[in-house]
Structure 1
Amino acid sequence: MRLRNIPGAEEAILNSEYCIKNPEEQKGHWQDCFDKVQPLHIEIGMGKGRFIMDMAALHPDINYIGIERYSSVLLRALQKMELNPLPNIKFICMDAADIAEVFAKDEVDRIYLNFSDPWPKDRHAKRRLTSRQFFARYDQILKKDGHLEFKTDNQDLFTFSLEEVPEAGWKLDASTRDLHHDAVLNEGNVMTEYEEKFSFKGNPICKLIASR
């Protein structure tokens, strides 16, 4: 990823009021980070933050946490927040594999996965954010009536994800391989940077919603 090594990114994150430095210390107490106690939605692999910031602006009655592994990518989101602060959003720089160490049982109401790394080699399948291994992690933090939403333009990854949902013991609530032409699932859709880029090129966008 070309933005990984921006000089000063890690220092900027440490000094930012919008980024939680020791997230494991907030486990079970995430609502303390916000002005109001509200449903908690998280995006894993948020990139530059367009989706989650747009969601936070549209839904002030929901608290959001954006998770990004790479500091130089997260820096872009922090820069946007400096220009347009939102009280109902915080960021974490961390590896998604540690998600259950940061959030407590039933602490999260909804999980968003948008245009995740496909990890195309078979031997890396367990690293995909829609693998059964990651669903097991989500199972530890998501409320019983919570949902997971996943979007991608990668058809192979989407097929894999559809197969993993039942294998993980979850239920597929809805799915489409052409989101922008699906009147039901596209209603209220908020696009990511990648979604806008890929759809402009003519790539159909896939989406699934899963629960337990």
Structure 2
Amino acid sequence: MRLRNKPWAKEKIESYPQYIVPNPENFKGKWHEVFHNNQPLHIEVGTGKGRFITEMAKANPHINYIGIELYDSVIVTALDRLIEADLPNLRLLNVNAADLDKYFAKNDVERVYLNFSDPWPKKRHEKRRLTYKDFLKLYESILVDGGEIHFKTDNQGLFEYSLMSFSAYGMLLKYISLDLHNSDFEGNIMTEYEQKFSEKGNRIYRCEVKFQN
């Protein structure tokens, strides 16, 4: 993904601490203080421009959401969406997903969404894939017992790899769709990439997997 430099992005991010949480490590184990309630917390790792997480928060006001995005130049678009929607149950974090355990404690999160993650197709980059075993261990360390990962991609190779990775880790495969948009799945909220790829005729793959106690 080629990113357009936006030198003003960092200043804008810092101007909206009510939406993009500064110093998120201060809320590890106590995210209820940010949302002022004890609703379940779902996070999206690699939230991109924020369409998915914003629409999920609109559709499910009884759930709190956090979108996590590393790149300043990308998260500012998600920020614009959130400013416009002004949702009390959605916040953003401008941090590296590899450091999730710095910001979340065990039992903080009930569900992790992974949508159209970078496939890192070369074998030498396997450890960078967000469904690699080290990342699964990281998610498990912040999820409640029996917590879930919901995963979507248009990349068949990454999907097949991920199913094997989930299985090897001992996770329960609850739901698998090899063609989401031609399935009976209801309530799908598309990401920007999902719309783009599906309009090109690409098949969309989706699965729900659960950590077993």
Q: When the two structures are superposed, what TM-score results if normalisation uses the length of structure 2? A: 0.95
What count of residue pairs does the alignment treat as equivalent?
A: 210
User: Which amino acid is 1:29 matched to?
Assistant: K
Q: Write the distance in 1 (CA, Å) between the matches of 2:103 and 2:170.
A: 23
Q: Show the counterpart of 2:203.
A: 204
Alpha-carbon contact 1:176-1:206 (below 8 Å) kept: yes
The answer to whether the 8 A contact 1:113-1:150 is kept is yes
Q: Which amino acid aligns with 1:158?
A: F
Counterpart position of 2:109: 108
Equivalent residue of 1:3, what SS?
A: coil
Q: Give the letter aligned to residue 207 of structure 1.
A: R
What's the counterpart of residue 15 of structure 1?
A: 15
Q: Which amino acid aligns with 2:26?
A: E
Structure 1 residue aligned with 2:5? 5
2:25 maps to what in 1?
24
- Pairing 1:73-84 to 2, within 5 Å after superposition: 73-84=74-85
Could you list the runs of 5+ residues in structure 1 that have no partner in the other structure? none
Assess if the C-alpha contact under 8 Å between 1:35 and 1:88 holds in 2: no
Q: CA RMSD in A?
A: 1.0
Instruction: Report the alpha carbon displacement of residue 79 of structure 1 after superposing the two structures with TM.
Output: 1.3
Match of 2:144 in 1: 143
Give the structure 2 partner of residue 152 of structure 1. Answer: 153
Percent identical residues: 51
Counterpart of 2:20, as a letter, is: C
CA deviation after TM superposition for structure 1 residue 4, in Å:
5.0
Matched, 1:189 2:184: no
Q: Answer yes or no: is the 8 Å Cα contact 2:140–2:147 preserved in 1.
A: no
Deviations for 1:18-43, whole angstroms, at most 9, x for unmatched residues? 00111111100111111322010000
The aligned runs of 1:56-67 (5 Å cut-off) are: 56-67=57-68
Ranges in structure 2 where 5+ consecutive residues have no aligned partner: none
How far does residue 106 in structure 1 lie from its aligned partner after superposition? Answer: 1.1
The one-letter amino acid paired with 2:108 is E
Distance 1:197 1:69 in 2: 22
Measure the CA separation in 1 of the matches of 2:183 and 2:127. 30
2:12 is aligned with what amino acid? A
1:125, distance to aligned residue in structure 2 (A): 0.6
Q: Structure 1 length normalisation: TM-score?
A: 0.96
* CA distance, structure 1, for counterparts of residue 24 and residue 163 of structure 2: 31
Counterpart residue type for residue 65 of structure 1: I
| Aligned-pair CA distance for 1:169 | 2.3
